[in-house]
Amino acid sequence: MNKAVIGLQWGDEGKGKIVDFLSENFDLVARYQGGNNAGHTVIVEDITYKLNLIPSGVIRGKVCFLGQGIVLDPEHFIKEYEQICKKISNPKIYLSSNIPLILPYHKQLDKINESILSGEDKIGTTAKGIGPAYQDKVGRKSIKLYDLKKLG
């Protein structure tokens, strides 16, 4: 059986808590869309976990998968992964190699785009580069995780 948790209130509906609750009954938890602007805090056995990108199922020892529909800030992912590793040994996290990356220029574009808007036109961006990274994805010009392997 599969279950999907879908938010309908622009991100503040408590999806992280629901996913944490439901993950108890599943072997795999996947995130298929979004970026690291989401935030959820989960407390398990008096240990507090603050996550923005990685599914909260990782806390319960579940396999977590980040799919190609997300956009990934490599610096943020590494920091979040390192924080998880301080509390959980050998977390099971897998990433699609086809994930578009959020690069520093995406964050700058996000800030510039917001700065030229005024009043009601402002979107209230988190300036994390998520929108511009999705623009590159849709325009088929994003740099993807597998491109990093080509460099190494």
Q: What is the pLDDT along the chain (152 residues), one digit of tens a residue?
A: 788 877 777 666 777 777 778 888 889 999 999 999 878 888 888 999 999 999 989 998 999 999 999 999 999 999 999 999 999 999 999 999 999 999 999 999 999 999 998 888 888 888 999 999 999 999 999 999 999 988 86
Taking a C-beta distance cutoff of 8 angstroms, is the pair 62, 23 a contact?
yes
Q: Are 91 and 109 in contact (CB under 8 A)?
A: no
40 is a catalytic site residue = yes
Write down the pLDDT at residue 10.
65
Q: Where are the beta strands (DSSP E) in the chain?
A: 28-31, 40-44, 47-51, 63-66, 93-95
Architecture of domain 104-147: Orthogonal Bundle (1.10)
- Token pair recorded at residue 147: 């491109």
Residues of the chain with CATH 1.10.300.10: 104-147
- Are 101 and 133 in contact, with CB atoms under 8 Å apart? yes
Give which of 50, 44, 48, 52 is closest to 23, Cα–Cα: 44
> pTM surpassing 0.85?
yes
Catalytic residue among 40, 46, 73, 147: 40
Report residue 131 as tokens. Answer: 């929108």
Task: For residue range 39-52, list pLDDT tens digits in order.
Answer: 888 888 899 999 99
Catalytic member of 12, 46, 73, 147: 12
**If one looks up domain 15-95 in CATH, what number appears?**
3.40.440.10
- Token pair recorded at residue 31: 């995130």
First to last CA, the chain: 39
Contact by Cβ (8 Å): 123, 114:
yes
Q: Which part of the chain is CATH 3.40.440.10? A: 15-95
pLDDT per position as a tens digit, 121-136:
888 888 999 999 999 9
- Residue 121 annotated as catalytic: no
